[in-house]
Amino acid sequence: MPVFKKYDLNKQSIEVPGTRTPGATGHYRHVGFVDGLVENIRADPTVKTLYDLFQSSLAKFQDKDMLGSRNYDPVTKTWSGYIWQSYRQVDQRVNAFGSGVMHINEAILGNTQLNRWSLGIWSLNRPEWFISEMICNYYNLVSVPLYETLGPDAVEYVMNHAEIKVAVVSGNHIASLLEMSDKLPNLRAIISMDSLAEGVLAPGVSSASSILRAWSNDRGIKIYDFQQVEALGREYPRRHIPPQPEEVASLCYTSGTTGQPKGAMLTHRNFIAAVGANREGMVTDHTDTVISYLPLAHIMGRVVDTNSAYSGCRIGYFRGDLLLLMEDIVELKPTFFPTVPRLLNRIYAKVVASTVDAPGLVGKLARRGVATKLANLEAGKGVTHPLWDRLLFNKVKMALGGNVQAILTGSAPIAKEVLNFLRVAFGCIILEGYGATEGMATATITMADEHQPGIVGCPRSGVELKLVDVPEMNYFATDKPFPRGEIMIRGATVFKGYYKDEKNTLDTIDSEGWLKSGDIGFIDNRGCLTIIDRKKNIFKLAQGEYIAPEKIENVLLSRCNLVMQIYVHGDSLESTLVCVAIPDPETFLPFANAIAGTNVTMTDPVGLGKLLKDPKVKTAYLKELEKAGQAGGLRGFEVVKRVHLSMDMFSVENNMMTPTSKVRRPQVKEYFLDAIKSMYDDIHFTTIVAKL
């Protein structure tokens, strides 16, 4: 099980004396690392690259289970349990696949550049993803993950920007690459993670793989499957080409809400520093099992899996379907569950419904048990209870397989009530982290025995941070009771810069190596950071108040279970905010039916459309948003005054969302422009009538 290092909760970070400058706080460091930041894995200082990391794990854990996945039987239409490959078996496959890729690059494609070229990886999490990334570390290549949900324009841009010659992809993406291949002049070979073995569907009918091979031939692109390349590698083995610490290990493209994606250059040193910093707070080992479902194209998922590989953990991959994720978790029985608030909010809603909101004796007992455990948590007595766990909560824990000892959440805020309820319901430690791709998702994290929700913890052992004045938003390092300002981060985890993009690099990292986060926070008297605002995408209302819509959206998303997606809108010509909300069908339908006196289901689009437009439903929904805003501490001018309800979800396909689930604001505004205008017309009309 994960082991946590203990520190004083009342003094988690310290402002280093003599480091204050005009317009900024001093440098805050973790209380245990004031005299020096961690830049490597202190227990294993010879590990300097991702190549070293895996060789170290191989020596210690070679016959232990490493990568697990579930197989589908098309005959019985059932899934197997987890089938495991050992560290030794994974190493053998990395050697074979890597040698095969190097042979294809040199002997078949005739490329004279033997290393430092970019390998594209495009698929959901699976063993082949890990193996594809690891060959980059064995043969000094640069991995370029592509988000599973990237649209064609972004795929084309990244493939060309990173000059990808060879792409390893799941079978469902082969056709997409071939379709756009005339726009991908660098692409020379596609390797399918899924088998392309020939199979006759019917007399005279070609198999799908035959069609793909003929298509790729026509486009002048070589196509292989994983097994073919491994066989080639066994026939033509290659020596390893170990990388150097300062060389780029991966180009991680950040999907911004505007403009083209930016390729963050993450070095081997960055990855090792992230693993080292993580291990100073929580240590996992070969007895631990981790569920891998967070996209490996996103840095949080990569850091978790890299740290797990170093620790000798078992890494179990989900089947690729988020609707089946909970089934995978029950089957895997992980001890460590890295996740995001959106999933925790859904788990919270279901657990609440079956416990504290349950009718009769069950609900009564659950409410008493939760109250007792929450009081103990607040008093610093931990998250377990001998009586209530035995009576009630041990059954609740089975929803996560029964073995989870620690949950890590990040990427977005999580409501205080959700966080503490889940802590006591599952009787486990929940860590909340904060970071960015450009800093290896490793900036701050809460301590294991933290019981105060709403904070994102103190600086990691390898990171120092400071707050810088943002005068236009009235945030200053001299504010009382606590300093406020833009969060800036420095340490060995901070990236090298953006690939082929000096301007954005200079705009993001200053001359002293400080990474500008764009987030606003304050640091309390315990040395803990709280995120309170967002510097980017701010605008002024007509009365001069600054608005950070993303902050408001996060508050409403985390505190109102009726919301699946939301877009908050305002501009300098209006004095109020309006919003477009995509309701969560699971919670919205019972809510709306009760108000409208109907019995509409998701299979009744006409009835659903009427509910979404029903004035009584919209008024009640708006009241729920107001309650959530008040609970989240929104100020009066930050409360939305009208809502437009729609089931037109923001997605990558309709260009209203990035692959990392960030709202593309200009596109959403354009799509819902008529609804936004109608909401403001209604506000203006109501104002005029009120004056008559």
Q: What is the CATH number of domain 539-691?
A: 3.30.300.30
Average pLDDT over every residue of 326-346: 93
Domain boundaries defined on the chain: 3-41+335-534, 50-243+285-308, 539-691
Residue with tokens 């950071």: 529
Specify the pLDDT at position 202. 40
Determine contact, residues 485/472, Cβ cutoff 8 Å. Answer: no
Dist. CA 636–CA 93, nearest whole Å: 59
Which range (362-366, 477-481, 543-547) has the least confidence?
543-547
Dist. CA 321–CA 605, nearest whole Å: 25
Q: Per residue in 367-377, pLDDT tens?
A: 999 999 999 98
The tokens of 181 are what?
A: 């291949």
Count of CB atoms within 10 A of residue 362's CB? 14
Confidence bin at 199 (pLDDT 50/70/90): low
Q: Residue 513: what are its φ and ψ, rounded to 5°?
A: 85, 15
Q: Per residue in 408-428, pLDDT tens?
A: 998 777 888 888 999 999 999
Q: Which helix (H) or strand (E) segment is 547 a member of?
A: strand 546-547
Residue with tokens 């890299």: 306
User: What burial letters (b/e) apply to 432-443, b meaning 16+ CB within 10 Å?
Assistant: bbbbbbbbbbbb
Determine contact, residues 465/27, Cβ cutoff 8 Å. Answer: yes
Give, as one character, the DSSP assignment of residue 16.
Answer: P
**SS3 label, residue 77:** coil
Confidence bin at 320 (pLDDT 50/70/90): very high
- Residue 444's closest CA among 485, 380, 391, 488? 488
Q: Per CATH, is 50-243+285-308 categorized as 3.40.50.12780?
A: yes
Dist. CA 564–CA 591, nearest whole Å: 14
Residues 6+ apart with CB under 8 A from 617: 592, 595, 596, 611, 645
Task: Give just the sign of the alpha carbon dihedral 431, 432, 436, 439.
Answer: negative
The tokens of 149 are what?
A: 């949900």
Average pLDDT over every residue of 583-606: 92
Which range (164-178, 247-261, 480-494, 510-524) has the least confidence?
247-261
229 compared with 352, residue with greater pLDDT: 229
Supply the mean pLDDT for the chain.
92
Specify the pLDDT at position 198. 61
Average pLDDT over every residue of 667-691: 89
Beta bridge partners of 490: 464
Listing DSSP states for 250-277 in one string gives EEEEE--SSSS-EEEEEEHHHHHHHHHH
Of 2.30.38.10, 3.40.50.2020, 2.40.110.20, 2.60.450.10, the CATH number of 3-41+335-534 is 2.30.38.10
Specify the pLDDT at position 203. 43
The tokens of 550 are what?
A: 């993303």
Q: Per residue in 36-73, pLDDT tens?
A: 999 999 999 999 999 999 999 999 999 999 999 999 98
Length of the chain: 692
Q: Per residue in 272-300, pLDDT tens?
A: 999 999 999 999 999 999 999 999 998 99
Confidence bin at 256 (pLDDT 50/70/90): low
